Amino acid sequence: MNKIMPWLPLLLVVSFLLLPCSHAQEPGYDQPWRPQYHFTPPQNFMNDPNGTVFYKGEYHLFYQYNPEGNVWGHMSWGHAVSTDLVRWKNLPVALHEVPGQYMVYSGSAVVDWNNSSGLCKNPDPQDRSCLVAIYTAAYKDRQKQHIAFSNDRGRTWTNYSGNPVADLDAPDFRDPNVFWYTPQHKWIMVAVLADARTLVVLDSPDLKHWTKRSTFGPAGDTAGQWECPDLIELAVEGTAEKKWVLIINRNPGAPAGGTGVRYLIGKFDGANFASEVPDAPALWADWGKDFYATNTWNDLPPGDGERVWMGWFSNWQYANTEPTVLWRGGQSVPRTLKLRRYADGLRLVQRPVRELQSLRHDKLRTENSSVAQANQKLRDTATRGEVYELEAELQPGEAHEIGFRLRKSKAAETLVSFDAVHREVYVDRTHSGEISFSKDFPGRFSVKVEQSASIKLQVFVDRSSVEVFVNDGERVLSNRIYPPPGSDGIEVYAEGSGARVVSLTIWKLNSAWK
Ligand code: FRU
């Protein structure tokens, strides 16, 4: 056999390396630009996170997936599970397109704890539950909501024979997000009429029969589409107060250009959402370019914080042309959500989930140093890297700017900085490496911050990304970067005098894929 096909063993090895697989060790994840602790699909194109739900010890992540190529198309639900939101195990595609009929667009998943749907056929008489996924079936010129159910912890799925379960006879009715509304013992679905920038609220006793209850929108938006809505109740930090937050993914129109996530804070009575500040300027969840189509986990275990979400780590402006080959698209780190009160009102704050700390090793710390001393320490300890977490408190003093040059080499650098004159934190990826695949990719993306003498930055750096959490999650900037090989320098800089590095901690992070 070897005489006939001498290259076969090599082919087998290469195919094995390229195959999606469910081993603890994921081959194919140790590549340039392949994120080491962000989720990416084993191969091919991915966009929105879908169906995020916790069930029987596992966090499920489904996602918009093209099983056949590395650009958008043939949309299906890819699937992975994790026991800690950080280390993922890839599973086979959960929901497939039906060629010639419909693609499987975004949606959500719930635990039907009491078998309200009658679809749960659990052999355990003590346990009536099963998983139900609610997704958009995108037909050629109509979008309708379907459900599918799984009686084996999400491993296999059956489409409900009575689909569709919600149909408004519209071409753009999509992205159903479903949750159990305890006060009225019923299911709520929020979905959008995307082009009209309108939220539709429906309810159901059993996930199979849905009644439209209200619409909301366009809430100041005069262009673009609404996609992937979510409605969640969140506590106001440090109080017993709770508020409803309506999350709207907007395409385009985000502060950094292209797609982004806005939110409104208000009340929900089981049928209507009302914004607390009717003319509120748009509030945004992220000021980077790459955070979109968010999905919050349903049924989180107690102790996980109230809500955790994840966003697609890309932007529709260039999602199909990002310069990776084997796979394309990724997810942000998972983040816990809360509301915090500021002088000008309530704001969403996001913190990376604490499970990420389990990846930390090799810590560097310096306190109360000048910029030169901090850089000396980085050199003395040969601290460089492509995969790490950095926490710093910086005091500009008289300097007009202080910050970091990250993923630095002779050919590239990404700036994460505080502009003290304009009181804004920015990420500049103009010289970050490969940027030529889209005119919309390079740029400097900034956000205003609250007034204070120093600035706190928590920065997650991965092989092709920089995610910045400012002042304990008050502002976030998420951005992909594609640096050339060897761009692993870390440098502090200031422009002007008197700047201080109040503290700087850097942890190398282990790969979550090993
Ligand atoms: C958002 C989105 C959704 C749609 C899905 C299709 O990124 O456009 O509205 O369901 O992607 O892949």
Residue ranges per structural domain of the chain: 44-321+330-352, 355-509
For position 29, what pLDDT does the model report? Answer: 95
Centre of ligand 1 to C-alpha 233, Å, is 24
CA-106 nearest atom, ligand 1: 10
Per-residue pLDDT tens listing for the chain (514 residues): 333 333 333 333 333 344 443 334 577 899 999 999 999 999 999 999 999 999 999 999 999 999 999 999 999 999 999 999 999 999 999 999 999 999 999 999 999 999 999 999 977 888 999 999 999 999 999 999 999 999 999 999 999 999 999 999 999 999 999 999 999 999 999 999 999 999 999 999 999 999 999 999 999 999 999 999 999 999 999 999 999 999 999 999 999 999 999 999 999 999 999 999 877 778 999 999 999 999 999 999 987 778 999 999 999 999 999 999 899 999 999 999 999 999 989 999 999 999 999 999 999 999 999 999 999 999 999 999 999 999 999 999 999 999 999 999 999 999 999 999 999 999 999 999 999 999 999 999 999 998 789 999 999 999 999 999 999 999 999 999 999 999 999 999 999 999 999 999 999 999 999 8
Residue-wise burial string across 214-245, b where 16 or more C-beta atoms lie within 10 A, e elsewhere? bebbebebeebbbbbbbbbebbeeeeeeebbb
Q: What is the pLDDT of residue 84?
A: 97
pLDDT score recorded for residue 312: 98
Q: Per-residue DSSP letters for 78-90?
A: EEEEESSSSSEEE
Q: What atom of ligand 1 comes closest to residue 107's alpha carbon?
A: 10
Instruction: Return all residues near 316 (Cβ < 8 A) that are at least 6 apart.
Output: 251, 252, 258, 259, 292
- What CATH number does the domain located at 44-321+330-352 have? 2.115.10.20
The two three-digit tokens of residue 407, written as one number? 């993923």
Q: Quick check: is 203 catalytic?
A: no
CATH class of the structural domain 355-509: mainly beta
Strand locations in 38-83 (E): 44-55, 58-66, 76-82
SS3 39: coil
The CA–CA distances, whole Å, from 364 to 56, 463, 503, 509 equal 38, 20, 11, 12
Run of H or E including 315: none
* Single-letter amino acid, residue 19: L
Residue whose Cα lies nearest atom 6 of ligand 1: it is 105
One-letter amino acid identity for 242?
K
Q: What pLDDT, on a 0 to 100 scale, did the predictor assign at position 248?
A: 98
**Set 48, 172, 290, 462: catalytic member:** 48
Spatial separation of the C-alpha atoms in residues 151 and 123, rounded to whole Å: 9
Contacts 24+ apart (CB under 8 A), 163-168: 163/137, 164/137, 165/134, 165/204, 165/207, 165/208, 165/209, 165/210, 166/191, 166/202, 166/210, 167/142, 168/193, 168/200, 168/212
CA of 140 to the centre of ligand 1 (A): 15
Atom of ligand 1 nearest to the CA of 227: 9
Q: In what order do the strands lie in the sheet containing 186-193?
A: 173-181, 186-193, 198-204, 211-216
pLDDT of residue 6: 38
Please tell me the distance between residue 105's alpha carbon and the centre of ligand 1 in angstroms: 6
Q: What angle do CA 487, 293, 144 make, to 5 degrees?
A: 145
